[in-house]
Chains A and B, each alone.
Chain A
Amino acid sequence: MTASTQYAEPLLAPALNGDASWFEASARQRIDGLLDAHTFQEFLGPEHRDTSPHLAIFDLPTQFDDGMVVGEGRLNGAAVLVAAQEGKFMGGAFGEVHGAKLTGLLRAAAVRRVPVVIMFETGGVRLQEANAGELAIAEIMRALIDARLAGVPVVGLIGGRAGCYGGGSLIAGCCSGLAISELGRLSVSGPEVIETNRGIEAFDAADRPLIWRTMGGKHRYLLGAVDAFVDDAIPQFRDAAIGLIAQAPTLDLAHLARVQSQLADRLDRLGACADATDVWRILGIASDVDVPDLEPAAFAALAQTLKEFGDDVR
């Protein structure tokens, strides 16, 4: 039998090259690359088989971790709690178990006073378990705010294939800091949802340049909806997470009032814009600058020069 077998460190994901793409990586590979080497300890790992109780009704296969990997580890030597969504399983969508794992992690963070990093990749709530998924979103947001009120930084990282949509975007909006790559997309409603509900005149879901310039990482960063813009590489997301934990704002009434006032100003200045390009003109970007086409370094330089930049609303 195996009782006395001595095992080496568990290796739950293949190691990637130092500059590996965040976009291409799996949830486990992202955690592996984010944390200090060999420090990750998973909670409720796949061997526990806490799978969705709903998917069998629809004759759909489950995944042993329900698409959500949670645990603890060290980031730059400091204790951290981490959660990563697997975007390839059901589009990273929130179900009952998937959501409960994040709720539990955030509640633990509030008690233990340990920072949290959430690696978002989600289309929103899983339609096959919609009620449970919607409830999970509400529970996660409450637990996240409780953690922040306890002084815990909660940082979100967005750069996966599925983007960060629906309830996932609401959770992201509650975070103390967000980092995004050019390939990351952040929006409440996805392109198809908008087109279906508001018509193709409102949003053409087949117009990919429109999607990228509306929901993509560059535009979200220019708007001040995220705090850091990074290259699509795992070390860049790691550095951003370390920085955002260090500079997390205190969540109190004064902070909320300041954010509210800045959001009102933003709406006042930009609310009439019909397209991201209109926003860029008002922000002071010359009309001959093709923002989507800018290399990351050139884009970062441009962003630095914009005055809106000091007016971060998060």
Chain B
Amino acid sequence: MEHLLYRQATQRPAFASTAAAAASASNARLSSGDGLTPAPIARAIVGVVASGNLEVLVEHVLPHDQYEIDIRTSATGFADVWQAVVTDFADRGALGGLRFSINDGGARPDTVSLRLAQALRAIAGGHA
């Protein structure tokens, strides 16, 4: 098993601000019939720990100017690849305030990217 931890500062909070997130949540409830504005949720989990697969637990628990990706993987020696996947993910999405915890069963990088994107979408209130 290998443990990798990426904790970074970011200027991009996942939910625009606490007030905006709350407003967005209540708006979504009011307009849920339209399905226009997904509301953020406190945490979400996607995937499963199996061969070539992984689970991602994402929680809104950090200060809005930080994010963390905490990885436990059965495939040792791939820190460079994880770094590349994590960097790519952080470049694409607004992650501030989010902690991603990963249990990995030896998933390929494309599967990891997919699960991270699913997790981000799920915690934003959309279907994974």
Residues of A within 8 A of B (CB): 1-2, 4-15, 26, 28, 46-47, 49, 56, 59-65, 86, 88-89
Contact = CB atoms under 8 A, between A and B. Distances in A.
Contact of B104 (A7, A13, A49, A61): A61
A88 B41 contact: no
A62 B55 CA distance: 10
- Residue among A5, A12, A28, A49 having the largest count of chain B Cβ atoms under 10 Å: A5
Nearest to A66: B49
Contact of B53 (A11, A28, A49, A88): A88
A61 B25 contact: no
- Residue among A8, A26, A46 having the largest count of chain B Cβ atoms under 10 Å: A8
What 5 A-B pairs come out closest when comparing CB atoms? A8-B39, A6-B22, A63-B49, A14-B127, A88-B48
Contacts of A4: 18, 22
Nearest to A56: B1
B112 interface: no
Q: How large is the interface on B (under 10, 10 to 19, 20 to 34, 35 or more residues)?
A: 35 or more
Nearest to B76: A59
B114 interface: no
Main SS at interface, chain A: loop
Contacts of A13: 128
- Residue among B45, B72, B105 having the largest count of chain A Cβ atoms under 10 Å: B45
Interface stretch (B4-12, B56-64, B79-87): B56-64
A8 B28 contact: yes
Nearest to B63: A1
B48 A86 contact: yes
A64 B45 contact: yes
Contacts of B1: 56, 59-61
B125 A64 contact: no
B111 interface: no
Contact of B18 (A2, A8, A60, A63): A2
Nearest to A27: B48
14 contacts: A4-B18, A7-B41, A7-B42, A7-B60, A13-B128, A14-B122, A26-B48, A28-B45, A46-B43, A59-B74, A63-B49, A63-B103, A64-B55, A88-B53
A64 B101 contact: yes
